[in-house]
Amino acid sequence: MSTVNRENARRRGGDTAGRILDSAERLVQARGFNGFSYADVAAELEVTKASLHYHFPGKDELGLALLARYSERFGAALDAIEAEVPDAPARLAAYVALYADVLRGERMCLCGMLAAEYVTLSEPLRERLIGFFDVNEVWLERVLEQGRADGSLSFAGPARETARLIVSTLEGAMLVARPYGDLERFTAAASGLLATLTA
């Protein structure tokens, strides 16, 4: 096989893997990790299940790839907020907007959906899931400490505890807003939380 043909095959394989991940991510965000099968993805993409197994031999491998990609995108979004938004209250508002955008698209946070199914997940998936929330808490802790230091935020106790409160409130607010199909329920809860932190 020539170099050009190898490169074309690699691209096609990469495109297929990306399409599989896109489909699986949508399904997890709508139904949960246990609520979809390879047959669902194969039917949506009009490919064989064998093609899915070629790229992701088992559902755990697919789940790990989903978590890695989602965490990478979310991490890049946090980096962008830090680079482009100067003050702590605005950074918190931008963080909330990440969740609101997902809910606006009639989806749930991928990691929130997986957390609901935590007891059924394999150990590697559990570890990667906890890693996602840890990264978010560390980032929020840094923003909160910045805001307390410059007087723009006010809260009692350690910043890490408030960071955990923020993540828990946003994930919970998404879950409660979902059955009502009402983004305003989420925004009201998030805005109320942010208002308690503004000095």
Distance CA 13, CA 163 (A): 40
The model's pLDDT over 1-49, given as tens digits with 9 standing for 90+, comes to: 443 343 444 444 458 999 999 999 999 999 999 999 999 999 999 999 9
Looking at residue 159, its pLDDT comes to: 98
The model's pLDDT over 100-157, given as tens digits with 9 standing for 90+, comes to: 999 999 899 999 999 999 999 999 999 999 999 999 999 999 999 999 999 999 999 9
pLDDT greater at residue 1 or residue 199: 199
Looking at residue 199, its pLDDT comes to: 66
- Domains of the chain (ranges; CATH) run 60-197 (1.10.357.10)
Alpha-helical segments (H) within the chain: 3-31, 38-45, 49-55, 59-84, 88-104, 110-116, 123-150, 159-180, 183-197
Q: Is pLDDT at 184 greater than 90 in this prediction?
A: yes
pLDDT greater at residue 88 or residue 106: 88
Give the residue from 189, 196, 77 showing the smallest Cα distance to 139. Answer: 77
